[in-house]
Structure 1
Amino acid sequence: GGRETVVVEVGGKRLEVSLPASLGFATTPATGNGAAGGGRTKRKKTKSAGGAATGDALASPMQGTIVKTAVEEGQRVEEGDLIVVLEAMKMEQPLNAHRAGVVQGLEAAVGGSVSAGAVICQIKDEQLASV
């Protein structure tokens, strides 16, 4: 076995990882990537919301402690705005708004613990937030 180099993004940083080709990360010849093309695979551009976002809810991607809240209940935010900073395993993880809207149901308090999947807040459309 040969090796395959894969580019991954972790915490906003691009890293090249060399893996055994036997793991099945082969690239398709049609894209021009593969052993002859340097072994790099194309990667999709992803939005970094920072948290697990489903619909209106912004949920914590991991268990941790809230170390900063950057918004208040009822505040208007734009997509990508900082909502809270979560500390887990001595690392800080910013959780950003996944959509524009009005913050509702903000349960995060500095020093409070959250579990993985816990809803930090809802981000509602302005028209729906006033109802």
Structure 2
Amino acid sequence: MEEIKATMAGSVWKITVSEGEEVKDGQDIVILESMKMEIPIATETGGTVKELKVAEGDFVNEGDVIAIVG
């Protein structure tokens, strides 16, 4: 299991996957918006999205878990 974590504080602008979806290594999971920039957050391993811990519009801090892939 891999915990996908926010690399910086920001708002969840877009979620690009759904729970139960198969993802590939390096695939974007969510896009954060911070300081008018879009920051893609990707998985480091392939697998199935087990759980999304955020919703579009949520604010996250650096290090917060966004999703679990396994």
TM-score, normalisation: structure 2: 0.93
What's 2:3 paired with?
57
Equivalent residues in 2 for 1:1-131, closer than 5 Å? 56-124=2-70
Bigger radius of gyration, 1 or 2? Answer: 1
Instruction: Report the alpha carbon displacement of residue 68 of structure 1 after superposing the two structures with TM.
Output: 0.4
5+ unaligned residues in a row in structure 1: which ranges?
Answer: 1-54, 125-131
What is the CA–CA distance in structure 1 between the aligned matches of 2:50 and 2:66, rounded to whole Å? 10
5+ unaligned residues in a row in structure 2: which ranges?
Answer: none
* Matched residue SS, 1:105: strand
TM-score, normalisation: structure 1: 0.51
Q: Whose helix proportion is higher, 1 or 2?
A: 1
What is the CA–CA distance in structure 1 between the aligned matches of 2:58 and 2:50, rounded to whole Å? 18
> Sequence identity of aligned pairs in percent?
37
* Matched residue SS, 1:85: strand
Runs of 4+ off more than 4 Å: none
Instruction: Report the alpha carbon displacement of residue 75 of structure 1 after superposing the two structures with TM.
Output: 0.7
How many residues matched? Answer: 70
